[in-house]
Amino acid sequence: MTPEGRTAMEKAAGAKAPAGTHEVRLTTAAAERFRVLVVEQDIPEEERNLRIAVRAGGCSGFSYEIGFDARHPEDLVAESEGVRVVVDPPSLPHLEGAVVDFVDTVQEQGFKVTNPNAKSSCGCGQSFQS
């Protein structure tokens, strides 16, 4: 705990979300696509979480990883549009306030992250710099 009575994670996240949660949200389109993929891929119940993570790499410095995964004890968990979204603590500072959408157009198809923490991103939108 910090002297202000908040955990370091809450302080880093601006205390926007209750302890153990985060502020990464899904659009309705992203949540609907998640539910379709769960059925199409026959995802087991324990893995029906949408994990969003940030890893070093990509053409701009960091890249997004989005996929199904089981929850881990250290994960921050929130529900958005009826979907459990899990984020590992090291990724949270890069993702806090991000919105995940699903786009299906002639030009692109897939999950797309709108991230208020990204100072710049590459042309494909799959990597960013913070």
CATH for 74 = 2.60.300.12
| 115 in any annotated domain | yes
| 1 in any annotated domain | no
| 64 in any annotated domain | yes
| 39 in any annotated domain | yes
| 11 in any annotated domain | no
| 5 in any annotated domain | no
| 55 in any annotated domain | yes
Percentage of residues in the chain having pLDDT higher than 70? 72
119 vs 102, more confident: 102
pLDDT at 16 over 70: no
Distance, CA of 20 to CA of 87 (rounded, Å): 10
The residue to which tokens 């250290």 are assigned:
74
Range of the domain at 96: 18-129
DSSP three-state, residue 30: helix
Number of domains, the chain: 1
| 7 in any annotated domain | no
Neighbours of 98 (CB within 10 A): 23
15-29, 62-76, 83-97, 106-120: lowest mean pLDDT where?
15-29
Q: Write out pLDDT tens, residues 54-64.
A: 988 755 578 88
Q: Write out pLDDT tens, residues 23-78.
A: 999 999 999 999 999 999 999 999 999 999 998 875 557 888 999 999 999 999 99
Contact present, 84 and 35 (Cβ < 8 Å): no
